[in-house]
Structure 1
Amino acid sequence: MSSSFPSAPVDALPVVVIAGRPNVGKSTIFNRLVGRRQALVADTPGVTRDRKEGQAVVRGRAIRIIDTAGLEEAAPDTLYGRMRASSESAVADADLVLFCIDARSGLTPADEHFANWLRRQGRPVLLVANKAEGRQGAAAAMEAFSLGLGAPLAISAEHGEGVADLMSEIADRLPPTDLPPVQKANRRTRREQAEGEEEEDVRPPGPLRLAIVGRPNAGKSTLLNRLLGEERMITGPEPGLTRDSIAVMLHDDQGPIQLVDTAGLRRKARIDETLEKMSVSASIEALKMAEVVILVLDATLGVHEQDLQIARLIEREGRCCVLALNKWDAVEDRAATRQAIKDRIETSLAQMRGIPVVAFSAMTGAGINKLLPTVRRAYDVWNRRVATGALNRWFEMMVERHPPPLVDGRRLKLRYITQAKARPPTFIVFGTRTDQLPEDYQRYLVNGLRETFDLPGTPIRLLLRASSNPYARS
């Protein structure tokens, strides 16, 4: 499934929603259908809190798969009540609902309650009896006939049993479509992949990949909901509500954006639960896969060391970054606060110099309209290429203004410079004994590149090579 991609907009694809009470294996089924370990899975009820989306291909047809939080009885104003409301909203938009039960533990009153609720929703339902390993499990699954949702399909998502039958049933039950079949993605050879490493600035097709990161309770999920214009993510005063990295699609006037909300990143010393370690790993992986990263700060708290650690990770991975100052409506001295936060970031991280800053309130929406245009501009800078002629004229001027220092009584010779790639902008300096070029001189060149060629806030890579000038006479 990973070798295919949909030839139609994601919003036009049929939607299959996986629903059921907590800990019946919904996320394991989701991972099986999308073909990779995309959702967090643990032997703990309530691991999934937000809807998680993925794509699968059944009989050449692309579909959207949505994993939901477990359905359970709870007051509307509680965390579990909000989780249930999100799951019910997903069911309302489904073309097909996979209602999952645990065949190993048998039917529960909660299964019966939500089966009755599902029948009233008028959505097509496929009853899935998960954890039905072997003959005994398949026999136990037959108990689910009493739910009145048709014949149960016995599977074991953990062991892969019955998954092919599940895919076939999904294909049979979805409404017909006029959408064209998915196309096969070209499989590249190892040599082509190796050569592609030098061409990373050639953007692959698809939406801009944007991740939202930050410490717990900075307002990341509230920001995502505001951008989408709907209560897509579970939010509330409880810290650490988001456990998994959740990808959703949105569109601005320049095209599609794949937006990923992530779990809050805390200091390693404070991460002691296996589930939280999995959440943090998923957040870091989402950051690495992004093209642009929005680093969300609580403007009322200023910059903490953990914020700087996250910014260092963004820089180390070569992603471009937009600094998002949330809860701006609660800040009194805004000019001083904005400058203090920006100074702290730029003083601690030279590669973040000139980082774009957007101040807003995710709760009220004030200032949000400036965020995506700023993201697009940061992305353009990250992709920027400098003409070789202009680059070398600048380089000659910089070397003439401040020649490289003497090392062991001999002056280093820097001959020429070229841009190897963008995403992030990467330059190679050629010369003699370049391995001895001091770091402060390298910073001098990087700062000059940033100022002269308008590369604010994006990581700049400077590589050094010992080589003769190929343009010189032999």
Structure 2
Amino acid sequence: MADTRLPRVVILGRPNVGKSTLFNRLVGKKLALVDDQPGVTRDRREGKARLLDLEFTVIDTAGLEEAEAGSLSDRMRAQSRAALEGATAALFVVDARTGLTEADRHFARWLRQEAGLPIIAVANKSEGRAAESGLMEAFELGLGDPVAMSAEHGEGLADLFEALAPLIPEPSDEPEDEGDEDLPEDAPLKLAIVGRPNAGKSTLINKLLGQNRLLTGPEAGITRDSIAIPWEWQGRQVHLIDTAGMRRKAKVVDKLEKLAVADGRHAVDFAEVVVLLLDATLGLEAQDLRIADMVLQEGRALIVAINKWDSAEDQSRLFNGIKKALEDGLAQVKGVPVLTVSALTGKGLDVLMEVAFETRERWSRRVPTAALNRWFEHAQERNPPPAPGGRRIKMRYITQARTRPPTFIVFGNRLDELPDSYNRYLVNSLRDDLDLKGLPIRINMRSSRNPFGN
């Protein structure tokens, strides 16, 4: 997550000149999707960059291109322009192999006249003799001497450093607040929004933020990268993570969509609480259950939010039907919170955030060992473990091995003979008795190594 106190450097340019490759090079990891197809990046993505001893926040943007007002390309261009607000400098990237285009010249003129901040021309893909003429053309942009580099191969970074160094102030010695590891509730809530395409994920995040931070529109599949955005809700820090829509695997044949869906799955790994957003006008489908199961299998806390609730018909029947289908389809986790929201009007979003923080707190909670073993004794009294073949299974004690998700270890003898039904009984009792409803719970059995132990 980018440090909001660092200087901000925006990467601009027409589609497919290597902006996302340069972004990944500067942050030192493959955060942005990269493909030969133009227009891969649609939303702004931020990351903490380090270039020798320079530290700054770098912002990847959608490709600048002429487009009809109101079109997807026009909204992408507006997002790129909005990224310039509050920036320290911008890198205007051109493709040295193909040479300058009219679009390059057009946007260079616009940057010179209206950007109001230092612009550095970057002639990317400058490796090899084929790029020599394109590099010479880059001088025509009127942005000073272009920096020749290859983002893919890491060439020219020293020249980029020399161009940026006079513009980037010294980093502050004050450490960034990362949250207290002993008090996870004080750390930023990592909240991911997932769901099928066009469920309203980006619209919901924009409503929470109070600004059009992410591209939205009637076209399904606008979001491709998983975008993490720092935010504050009622004085509490949140990292909001938007993800690409997840269609049924058999329908995902496009390479770019496969990359986007994989990126969304990685976002779930990063998250603490995941909101599965449903479309009230479509109801619950099998793909929604697959996504929910994936989230729970990863051990993340899950909330189901039914969006577009103000457009739903027969609301009571719809809500009860979805809740019953979730109970049946997610039999391994009972009590997942189900909420109704409207990303368009903002109705129900405060409740969603309250439940998200409360769910994170329970997901992170450690049950005291004494209280845990009192529950363990009572659970066995209510339903004693079976005695297969007339031989008693001895369950001695239980301890919580970890949190996030809650994970427990049961010690005893012959525990490998416990039927799955008894394991499910213990898990369900843990949820009901210790306020762990709706959470993925792990129980591991560990038998004594002494074959004569009883």
TM-score calculated relative to the size of structure 1: 0.90
On the 8 A contact 2:95/2:134 being kept in 1, the answer is no
- Equivalent residue runs for 1:267-278 within 5 Å: 267-278=248-259
Cα displacement (A) at 1:180: 1.9
Q: 1:206–1:416: structure 2 CA closer, same or farther, 3 Å change rule?
A: closer
CA distance in 2, matches of 1:61, 1:100: 20
1:234 and 2:228 correspond:
no
Cα displacement (A) at 1:107: 0.6
Cα displacement (A) at 1:398: 1.2
Identical amino acids, percent of aligned pairs: 54
CA distance in 2, matches of 1:171, 1:434: 63
- Equivalent residue runs for 1:380-419 within 5 Å: 380-419=361-400
Cα displacement (A) at 1:54: 0.8
Q: Which deviations, in whole Å up to 9, do the C-alpha atoms of 1:374-412 show, x marking residues without a partner?
A: 110010010111111111111111112211112122121
1:113 and 2:113 correspond:
no
CA distance in 2, matches of 1:11, 1:228: 15
Query: Which of 55, 60, 79 does residue 86 from structure 1 map onto?
Result: 79
1:170 and 2:167 correspond:
no
TM-score calculated relative to the size of structure 2: 0.94
CA distance in 2, matches of 1:178, 1:407: 67
1:126 and 2:107 correspond:
no
CA distance in 1, matches of 2:146, 2:292: 49
Moved more, 257-266 or 157-166: 157-166
- Give SS of 1:74's match: coil
Cα displacement (A) at 1:355: 1.4
Instruction: Show the counterpart of 1:193.
Output: none
Instruction: Show the counterpart of 1:55.
Output: 48
Moved more, 437-446 or 335-344: 335-344
- Give SS of 1:294's match: strand
1:159 and 2:140 correspond:
no
Instruction: Show the counterpart of 2:330.
Output: 349
On the 8 A contact 1:59/1:171 being kept in 2, the answer is no
Query: Which of 424, 437, 440 does residue 418 from structure 2 map onto?
Result: 437
Cα displacement (A) at 1:74: 0.5
Cα displacement (A) at 1:201: 9.1
Cα displacement (A) at 1:179: 2.2
Query: Which of 5, 8, 11 does residue 4 from structure 2 map onto?
Result: 11
1:40 and 2:21 correspond:
no
1:334 and 2:315 correspond:
yes
On the 8 A contact 1:430/1:468 being kept in 2, the answer is no
Instruction: Give structure 2 stretches of 5+ with no counterpart.
Output: none
Q: 1:178–1:63: structure 2 CA closer, same or farther, 3 Å change rule?
A: closer
On the 8 A contact 2:121/2:144 being kept in 1, the answer is yes
On the 8 A contact 2:97/2:130 being kept in 1, the answer is no
Instruction: Show the counterpart of 1:192.
Output: none
Q: 1:163–1:60: structure 2 CA closer, same or farther, 3 Å change rule?
A: closer
On the 8 A contact 2:9/2:88 being kept in 1, the answer is yes
CA distance in 2, matches of 1:351, 1:255: 32
Aligned length: 448
Cα displacement (A) at 1:139: 5.2
Instruction: Give structure 1 stretches of 5+ with no counterpart.
Output: 186-199
On the 8 A contact 1:60/1:182 being kept in 2, the answer is no
Cα displacement (A) at 1:14: 1.2
Q: Which deviations, in whole Å up to 9, do the C-alpha atoms of 1:84-105 show, x marking residues without a partner?
A: 1111111233211100111100
Q: 1:207–1:170: structure 2 CA closer, same or farther, 3 Å change rule?
A: farther
On the 8 A contact 2:10/2:59 being kept in 1, the answer is yes
Structure 1 residue identity aligned to 2:390: G
Q: Which deviations, in whole Å up to 9, do the C-alpha atoms of 1:187-207 show, x marking residues without a partner?
A: xxxxxxxxxxxxx99859963
Moved more, 337-346 or 441-450: 337-346
Cα displacement (A) at 1:367: 1.6
Instruction: Show the counterpart of 1:69.
Output: 62
On the 8 A contact 1:51/1:86 being kept in 2, the answer is yes
1:313 and 2:294 correspond:
yes
CA distance in 2, matches of 1:180, 1:20: 33
Instruction: Show the counterpart of 1:148.
Output: 142
On the 8 A contact 1:431/1:468 being kept in 2, the answer is no
- Give SS of 1:345's match: helix
On the 8 A contact 2:49/2:57 being kept in 1, the answer is yes
CA distance in 1, matches of 2:210, 2:80: 17
On the 8 A contact 1:263/1:279 being kept in 2, the answer is yes
Deviating beyond 4 angstroms after TM superposition, the runs of 4 or more aligned structure 1 residues are 200-206
